[in-house]
Every structure is written in C-alpha cells, then in structure tokens.
Amino acid sequence: MREIVYVQAINEALREEMRRDPTVFLMGEDVRIGAFGTTGGLVDEFGTERIRNTPITESGFTGAAVGAAMAGMRPIAEFLIASFMWVAMDQLVNQAAKLRYMSGGQAKLPITYRALYGVMGSAAAQHSQAPHAMFLNCPGLKMVLPATPYDVKGLLKTAIRDDDPVLFFEHGALGGLKGEVPEEEYTIPFGVADVKREGTDVTVVALGWMVHKALAAAEELAKEGISVEVIDPRTLVPLDKEAIFASVRKTGRLVTVDEGNKTGGAGSEIGMLVAEDDETFGSLKAPLRRVAAHDVPIPFSPPLEQFVIPDEGRIMAAVRAVME
C-alpha cells in the first residue's frame, strides 16, 4: 500500500468530499494558500466560491458556518490554531452545539470545524494549547483526534458527511508523519476505538500525538517484560467505552495519556467511566493513573515546553507504578 504524510491525507479527504458533494465548501484564514499544507491547491480545482479566505475574525466565520449549514450547505471552517476557538465560544457552544436540539431536530448543523492543536515547537502559550477536554462539557459537539494518516483521512470524510457539528483536532506535530493510506474510497465510523498495540499487563488509553509516545513507551517496556496494550479512541465524542472496558477487564490496569492539562482532562473522564462500570472496576488490580500536561500555560522555552507535556519517560513511570 502507498504511504503519504498526514497533511496530504487531509488534503485528499477535503478534495474527495468536495468532488463528491457540491454543497461542501471550505472557509478560514489563508485557506487558499494552505499555510500548513492541508488546503494547498484546492482553490485551483474548486475556485474562490468554494475555497473562501476569511478575515481574521473567528467569531464571524464560525457563525457564518452555522448559518450556511442551516441553509443546506456543508461548511468546513478552519480555525488554523485551536486556541483561537476561544474567540468564537458563543457561536460554537450556544449556536452550533444547541440549535439542532432547540429546533426539535428541524435544523441540521453539518459543520466540520478543523483546528490545529498542541505543542508544535516554541509557539508559546497562546498557540500551543490542547483544549479538547473543555468541549467534553458541551453536549451537541462531536470530537475527533486522529493520530495517523489513515485515521485522519477516513475520519475527516466521515466528519464532513455527518449532520452534526464536529470539532476535528489535528495535531501540529503529526503533519509530516508518514503512513499507509489506501487509494480507494473509505471512511471510518465515529465511536470505534483502535487497538494500536495488543498487550496483557496494562491498558494505556492515549489521544492524538500521545498515541505515538505511548507506542514508543510500550516498545521499551516490552524489554522489561511488561506487555502494554495501547488503545486509541480516535473520537472522544462519541467514545468507544466498551473497547476501553474490555481492555481494562483483560489487563486489570489503566493509564491514560493526554496532552491536555491534568485537571479536568479527558484522561480524568475516561478513568471515571471505568470506575463507574461495576464489572470493569472490579477487575482493577491497581489504582488508575493519569499522564497529562502539567497545569501551567505552555512555555516558549524549548526545555520547559518539553518538561510540561507528557513524554515516554512519564508514561513508562506510570505503567511501572501500576505494575507495582
């Protein structure tokens, strides 16, 4: 099978869905140029009507996507950087997330909001956040965090076809990651986790870029005789709870790994779901462990930046702790 990089897989998904459905269009800051490589060349094929540069006004184009969706279009709105989503919180949380419910299902909101998130290398506090967990507290928004080129293409195509608003988080460190992607048509359903590595001693549930750090840690721990199962939920909303429960019942131990802050993070929610399930909780042999970013803004300094976010060493320490 051919191999392509993460950003190319995104570009292919956008191109294929725009060819398939004339109601799909893209808007955002500098989308015609494609500053990060994901939208480059699309304007040459689809023109300026369907590839729309917007002013630097996140609240404006986020709200415009809501109106366009209610009028029968399928907008893809690109935030460029996930931290800029805060500028459009009313449009996301009060409008996009709620209008289908408030209209009794009469209004459909088929919107895909794409956002680059996470530490990318000294981008500092306002451009390096992993904010996905904050939206777990907002019913009405689906949420996707793909970790591989295969997953990002299949999940993005699913997101564009979905009739609900989807927050699609693409990690900045994954742009050049190469992986196998079929040339033929495929989609990946929401709410289906992927077992990236099978194991018997400890379940590690990791999100986004952290999947690769968890896999590297698992490889090292195998040399110590510790068998780690790495689960990638792929979507946080909907979440494949049963896949996580089944793995934890098998291993009896759980470590969650997320680049977001530890307090109130996605790892906390996943751990609580395990604790609330009687059968899964009863199978635990050790307390749950969370590996996450420290509760501070992301520093500009490269050494401090790397200190704040999880790495293989912290994951290995957490796994060893639950084994003890």
Positions annotated as catalytic residues are: 127
Packing angle, helices 6-20 and 149-161, rounded to 10: 30
Cβ atoms of residues 273 and 241 within 8 Å: yes
In sequence order, which ranges of the chain are alpha helices (DSSP H)?
Answer: 6-20, 42-50, 58-70, 89, 99-102, 149-161, 210-222, 241-251, 266-276, 278-282, 302-308, 312-323
Cβ atoms of residues 218 and 199 within 8 Å: yes
Cβ atoms of residues 10 and 153 within 8 Å: yes
> From CA 318, how far away is CA 253, in angstroms rounded?
11
DSSP 220-234: HHHTTT--EEEEE-S
Q: Token pair 């698992």 is at which residue?
A: 218
